[in-house]
Amino acid sequence: MGSTAVGLSQLIYDTIMSCPIETRRDLFQNIVLVGGTSTMTGLPERIEQDLSALAPESVHINLSIADSADTVTWTGGSCLAGSVQFGSSLLSRDQYEEYGSGAVHSMFYFDDKPYMHSKLPFS
């Protein structure tokens, strides 16, 4: 109500459409909802209905909810925090203050190549 933000279905659609064309059909057929919100009554059906209206008619939408949907994001975060690479993916407050919010983008996504760290002097 009064918000200019797009809905979840539109975000999913826009994300898939920003991917290479040869991957889009597979992405539409492999959408997995995670997080506690994904278990809201009617949400999966609504997203599937919305995406069916947005996607080309020839594309089949397959949407599922992850097992343990309410804890899977916590589990993933826990695995990430426990990984060897986790320490090298952190940005200190001093680094943020020196390089600004662009440092986050530079650390994790630039030149269409995610997870490249070489453009910052502290990498």
pLDDT tens digits for 4-40? 888 999 999 999 999 999 999 999 999 999 888 888 9
Strands (DSSP E) found in 3-121: 31-33, 63-65, 109-110, 113-114
pTM of structure? 0.63
d(CA 69, CA 108): 26
Which pLDDT band, with edges at 50, 70 and 90, does 108 fall under? low
Q: How much is the pLDDT for 19? A: 92
| pLDDT at position 118 over 80 | no
CB-based contacts of 82, cutoff 8 Å, min separation 6: none
Percent of the chain clearing pLDDT 90 (strictly above): 41
DSSP structural state of residue 5: P
Q: How much is the pLDDT for 122? A: 46
Q: How much is the pLDDT for 59? A: 94
| Nearest partner of 12 among 79, 63, 83, judged by Cα | 63
| pLDDT at position 115 over 50 | no
| Nearest partner of 95 among 86, 87, 104, judged by Cα | 104
Tell me the mean pLDDT in the region 48-72.
Answer: 91
